[in-house]
């Protein structure tokens, strides 16, 4: 069985595609690509079909990651499709929970920073309206959170590293 992760931010052009691509990189390195799949989405429809933000891609490239994909909006069907849904900030988290009126999927929705082991921020800040340093900070924060998340998934799901 494949374990499926969905990363969610507002527009799906900065934070969530960065988390998806960083996680895919770490999954490849761990030899787990056949066991874990990743995707990303936005809570809004602002950027549907757009590639990741060029400034975010520049910051990711400095760490050896190329951001690929196109923005899409989160749908209620995603609750069924994914094992774990990771919100970048509290607003995204609350937006996702509001779509789950029955409360049936609440255990699937978590904050991304819950998996950080080195950083103390509780939310991944949106770098969209800021400068270059904000994009670099997000990449560093997401590397930390993705490493912690990968360790958690491997432990919780008892995946065998190759």
Could you list the active site residues?
9, 15, 126
Tokens of 134: 């904000």
Tokens of 102: 């029955």
What is residue 14's DSSP assignment?
A: S
Sheet of 3-9: strand order equals 36-42, 3-9, 84-87, 109-111
Residue 2 burial class via C-beta count within 10 angstroms: exposed 0-12, middle 13-18, buried 19 and up: exposed
């Amino acid at each position: 069985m494949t374990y499926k992760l969905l990363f969610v931010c507002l527009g799906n052009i900065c934070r969530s595609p960065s988390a998806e691509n960083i996680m895919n990189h770490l999954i490849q390195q761990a030899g787990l690509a056949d066991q874990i799949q990743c995707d990303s989405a936005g809570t809004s429809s602002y950027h549907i079909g757009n590639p990741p933000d060029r400034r975010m891609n520049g910051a990711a490239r400095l760490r050896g990651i190329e951001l690929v994909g196109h923005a899409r909006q989160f749908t209620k069907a995603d609750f069924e499709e994914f094992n774990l849904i990771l919100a970048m900030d509290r607003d995204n988290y609350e937006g996702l929970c509001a779509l789950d009126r029955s409360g049936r999927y609440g255990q699937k929705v978590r904050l991304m920073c819950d998996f950080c082991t080195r950083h103390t921020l509780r939310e991944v800040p949106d770098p969209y309206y800021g400068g270059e340093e904000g994009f670099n900070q997000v990449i560093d924060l997401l590397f930390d959170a993705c490493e912690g998340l990968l360790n958690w998934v491997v432990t919780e799901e008892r995946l065998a590293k190759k």
